Amino acid sequence: MELGECVVLVTGGAHGIGRALCRRIQQEHPGGIVIADRDLSAARSVAEESGGLAIECDVSQEVDVQNAVQQTINRYGRLDAVLSNAGVTAKGGVETPDADWNRLWQVNVMAHVYLARAALPHLLEREAGAFVVTASAAGLLTEIGSAAYSVTKHASVAFAEWLSVHYRNQGLKVSCLCPAGVATDFLDLEDPIHQFLHVSSVTPEHVAECVIEALRKETFLVLPHAEVEEFFQFKTQHYDRWLHNFAHVNTRLQKRRSRQTTPHATGETP
Ligand SMILES: NC(=O)c1ccc[n+]([C@@H]2O[C@H](COP(=O)([O-])OP(=O)(O)OC[C@H]3O[C@@H](n4cnc5c(N)ncnc54)[C@H](O)[C@@H]3O)[C@@H](O)[C@H]2O)c1
């Protein structure tokens, strides 16, 4: 799919990957860009750059998502592509409070469902629409530092797969973006696990380029890091060995984390 003349809606477009996507899409001369984000003033700055429309939208609220789609139609009269990109994280394992599990479920999963409900009638109208879910490598592998992020990103991959299977023969192109570390404010550089991700992180501009290429080639998985594809293949072929290897990485990173939080602790070099 080429985005020239298309009307594109990007959630979480005010910062990071979403902002890079908006800037890159602008180079394709679209018919319109809508930046839907809970941070309206930053969304407005991106809209000014790209000549688009900024909409205040909390994607965890279905009414806000419906409003964003309706405002898109009111302004441009059509909707051709949706980049459902907003996402949040929370550190922790099983002790993570239910409130955080629920927040991640709403933003990382239900927001895609709300957007699909509102946008599909428009995307299917011309039998040529596109729906891109920003998941994460955590949705194919795991995120050692966050149980809730890993689980909800797996669910977002599952939802993207389901959409692809269900609507492919009606002309909908579904892609699922699964990056590992990307150099945005999302990474907490005080945290050893995010530091580990940052070592091999890519720029949001590189991610945006990969998304444009995937839309052009109509590929489902968008993998800006070559190693994610390798790890994913290894996981599907040697599941137990993959778990063993990740457990080893987990042990090293947890040791590093406890050394950082306990100044006098000593231990094995990770
Ligand atoms: N940065 C990474 O290392 C990385 C890696 C893999 C996947 N991702 C995913 O990429 C997506 C974008 O992340 P990013 O790195 O650009 O993060 P970011 O924090 O830089 O940007 C996230 C954007 O989403 C918006 N947002 C958050 N919650 C929202 C809500 N409830 N409603 C509307 N907007 C909301 C924020 O205002 C912000 O503009 C997320 O889904 C994230 O999970 C990021």
Binned at pLDDT 50, 70 and 90, residue 261 comes out as: low
Q: What spacing in Å lies between the alpha carbon of 84 and ligand 1's midpoint?
A: 10
So what's the architecture of 7-225 in CATH?
Answer: 3-Layer(aba) Sandwich (3.40)
**Domain layout of the chain by residue ranges:** 7-225, 238-270
Ligand 1 neighbour 57 (Cβ under 6 A): yes
Binned at pLDDT 50, 70 and 90, residue 264 comes out as: very low
Burial of 46 (0-12, 13-18, 19+ CB in 10 A): buried
Ligand 1 neighbour 24 (Cβ under 6 A): no
Range list of H helices, 32-146:
40-50, 62-76, 98-105, 111-123
For tokens 């996402």, the residue is 87
* Beta partners for residue 202, in sequence order: 182
Q: Residue 7, by phi and psi: left (phi above 0), alpha (psi -120 to 50) or beta?
A: beta
**pLDDT confidence of residue 258:** 79
Ligand 1 neighbour 18 (Cβ under 6 A): yes
Which residue has the CA at smallest separation from atom 8 of ligand 1? 136
User: Which of 57-61, 74-78, 193-197, 208-212 shows the lowest mean pLDDT across its residues?
Assistant: 193-197
- The letter for the amino acid at 18 is G
- The letter for the amino acid at 67 is N
Q: What is the DSSP letter of 31?
A: S
Chain segment 151-178, per-residue pLDDT in tens:
999 999 999 999 999 999 999 999 999 9
Chain segment 90-136, per-residue pLDDT in tens:
999 999 999 999 999 999 999 999 999 999 999 999 888 999 999 99
What number of other Cβ atoms are within 10 A of residue 250's Cβ? 14
For the CA of 13, the closest atom of ligand 1 is 39
Q: Which residues are catalytic?
A: 136, 149, 153
Query: How far, in Å, CA of 88 to CA of 100, rounded?
Result: 10
Query: How far, in Å, CA of 186 to CA of 195, rounded?
Result: 12
Ligand 1 neighbour 104 (Cβ under 6 A): no
**pLDDT confidence of residue 254:** 83
Residue whose CB lies within 8 A of the most ligand 1 atoms, among 45, 175, 182, 206, for a mutation test: 182
Chain segment 203-252, per-residue pLDDT in tens:
999 999 999 999 999 999 999 999 999 999 999 999 999 999 999 999 98
Beta strands in the chain (DSSP E): 7-11, 32-37, 53-56, 81-84, 130-134, 173-177, 221-222
Q: What is the mean pLDDT of residues 241-265?
A: 81
Binned at pLDDT 50, 70 and 90, residue 270 comes out as: very low
Average pLDDT over the chain, rounded to an integer: 94
Chain segment 143-153, per-residue pLDDT in tens:
999 999 999 99
- The letter for the amino acid at 259 is R
**pLDDT confidence of residue 223:** 98
Ligand 1 neighbour 39 (Cβ under 6 A): yes
**pLDDT confidence of residue 123:** 97
Ligand 1 neighbour 191 (Cβ under 6 A): no
For the CA of 39, the closest atom of ligand 1 is 37
pTM passes above 0.85: yes
Binned at pLDDT 50, 70 and 90, residue 48 comes out as: very high
For the CA of 107, the closest atom of ligand 1 is 31
Query: How far, in Å, CA of 15 to CA of 249, rounded?
Result: 30
Let me know how long the chain is: 270
Q: What spacing in Å lies between the alpha carbon of 263 and ligand 1's midpoint?
A: 32
**pLDDT confidence of residue 194:** 86
